[in-house]
Amino acid sequence: MKKFRVWFIAIMLAVASGLVAPAPASAAPYCGLVWGSLVKAKPAMSQAQVTNVRTGQHYCFDRLVIDLNGRVGGYTVRYVPQVTQDGSGLPVPLRGQAFIQVTVNAPAYDQNGKSTYNPANPKELTNVTGYQTFRQVAWAGSFEGYSSLGIGVRARLPFRVFALAGPGAGSRLVIDVAHFW
């Protein structure tokens, strides 16, 4: 009984002095984000056309928005070793340590072949200077009903993809890339 009391007192002193502490709980995900960095895709095609590309900064992520003049059909968004141009397969040079290729299953031209989205500078679709995650957004072209662009990011970070209705009869494909894991 005396040995038990000695051990009990020793353990209590260790706990009280902080020498023995409970195991730390696993850290909560950054901003509650649980997105991951694997491919996100939907195979459906769209009758809509790409009309604009824009970006924005948020507290937990940087956002890319692709506007369409109809309903978003499908897309493929994934990390790649190098973004390539539609049709030719030529590389699209991008700043950053990781690269996301975004392919929207919608053309950037109408039924007559007239462009519905013609960026002033295909190498710099929007100015992302000062963004926490984005380093560059560049156009990779539109070919055979698909439109692609590349996002240069500072590291391979989690992202999510979703579609939003509006404005009007249009819709938006949204890609959010987290600032941290």
pLDDT digits (tens, 9 = 90+) for 40-57: 999 999 999 999 999 999
pLDDT of residue 98: 98
Question: Of 32 and 91, which is predicted with more confidence?
Answer: 91
* Phi and psi angles of residue 16, each rounded to the nearest 5 degrees, phi first: -65, -35
CA distances from 111 to 19, 47, 143, 145 (A): 73, 10, 13, 10
pLDDT at 9 over 90: no
Give the pLDDT confidence score for residue 63 in this predicted structure. Answer: 98
Q: Which residues on adjacent β-strands are paired with residue 17? A: none
pLDDT for the residue 18: 54
Does residue 8 surpass a pLDDT of 70?
no
Q: What average pLDDT does range 12-22 have in this prediction?
A: 56
CB 72 within 8 A of CB 46: yes
Cα angle vertex 41, ends 52, 125, to 5°?
25
Least confident of 43-47, 80-84, 105-109: 43-47
Least confident of 33-37, 92-96, 115-119: 33-37
Structure confidence by residue, pLDDT tens digits, 117-138: 999 999 999 999 999 999 999 9
Query: Lowest-pLDDT range, 4-13, 44-53, 63-72, 145-154?
Result: 4-13
Per-residue pLDDT, 14: 59
Strands (E) across the chain are located at: 40-42, 50-57, 61-68, 75-80, 98-104, 134-143, 146-153, 159-165, 171-178
Q: What pLDDT is recorded for position 56?
A: 98
Average pLDDT value for the chain? 90
CA dihedral sign, ordered 162, 121, 110, 87: negative
Nearest to 63 by CA among 139, 153, 167: 153
What's the rounded Cα separation, in Å, for the pair 6 and 69?
78
Cα–Cα distance for residue pair 127/163, rounded to 1 Å:
23
Contacts of 160 (CB under 8 A, 6+ apart): 33, 35, 40, 175, 176
Q: What pLDDT score was predicted for residue 80?
A: 98
Tell me which H or E stretch contains 4. helix 2-17
